[in-house]
């Protein structure tokens, strides 16, 4: 197994660890989750670069890379949903997009074609990663309200603005995710044509 695929597998392993860290309440758990998520995001950046620069692109990598991305972002969305920081509709829209893209990939695979992620899919991933990391930072900062920063007597607005901004960023990433999915399906619509 080559290095890019090993990095992708590390991301797959980090996804459930990240989810666990977001759901188990202990001091600085959002910070710990953010560090794990950031490390996983770095593997996403480097596995593709290494694969392209060293000619190590494989069908296994084309399969595992989007799977690892989906596991990581789904873990984040589920954790935000479980803790009341994201609407169920956002999760529904993202999962619907992922099912649509996976369906196209399955239809293409029937013809022996492996479809790699395009630029829109990569932009969607970057937008999701930024929104998730921001929201984790906002949640961590908000957790300091009653402890570390209590002596400063800061107004509630100082803590609510980052949370609101994170929420908006998450919804922007959802819109980009749905848009990239529609573009993906339209761009590969030939796989929906009936065979005679």
pTM of the model: 0.86
Average pLDDT value for the chain: 87
Which has the closest alpha carbon to 114: 57, 165, 59, 48? 59
Average pLDDT over residues 7-28: 95
Q: Where does the pLDDT of residue 61 fall: very low under 50, low under 70, confident under 90, or very high at 90 and above?
A: confident
CB 72 within 8 A of CB 15: yes
User: Which pLDDT value is given to residue 135?
Assistant: 96
pLDDT single digits (tens) 75-103:
999 999 999 999 999 999 999 998 998 88
pLDDT above 80 (res 145): no
Q: How crowded is the C-beta side of 27, counted as CA atoms within 13 Å? A: 4
SS3 84: coil
Q: Which domains does the chain have, with CATH numbers?
A: 3-192 (1.20.120)
Closest CA to 116 of 128, 104, 130: 104
Q: What pLDDT, on a 0 to 100 scale, did the predictor assign at position 75?
A: 96
**CA dihedral over 70, 76, 80, 83, signed as positive or negative:** positive
């Amino acid at each position: 197994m080559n290095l890019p695929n090993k990095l992708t597998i590390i991301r797959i392993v980090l996804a459930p660890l990240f989810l666990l860290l977001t759901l188990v309440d202990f001091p600085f758990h959002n910070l710990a989750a953010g560090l794990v998520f950031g490390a996983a995001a770095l593997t996403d950046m480097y596995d593709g670069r290494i694969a392209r620069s060293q000619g190590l692109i494989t069908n296994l990598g084309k399969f595992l890379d989007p799977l690892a991305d989906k596991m990581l972002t789904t873990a984040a969305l589920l954790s935000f949903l479980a803790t009341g920081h994201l609407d169920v509709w956002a999760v529904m829209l993202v999962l619907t997009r992922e099912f649509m893209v996976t369906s196209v990939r399955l239809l293409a695979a029937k013809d022996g074609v492996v479809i790699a992620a395009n630029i829109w899919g990569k932009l969607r991933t970057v937008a999701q990663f930024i929104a998730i990391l921001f929201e984790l930072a906002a949640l961590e900062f908000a957790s300091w309200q009653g402890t570390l920063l209590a002596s400063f007597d800061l107004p509630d607005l100082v803590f609510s603005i980052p949370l609101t901004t994170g929420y908006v960023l998450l919804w922007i990433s959802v819109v980009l995710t749905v848009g990239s999915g529609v573009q993906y399906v339209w761009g590969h619509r030939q796989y929906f044509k009936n065979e005679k």
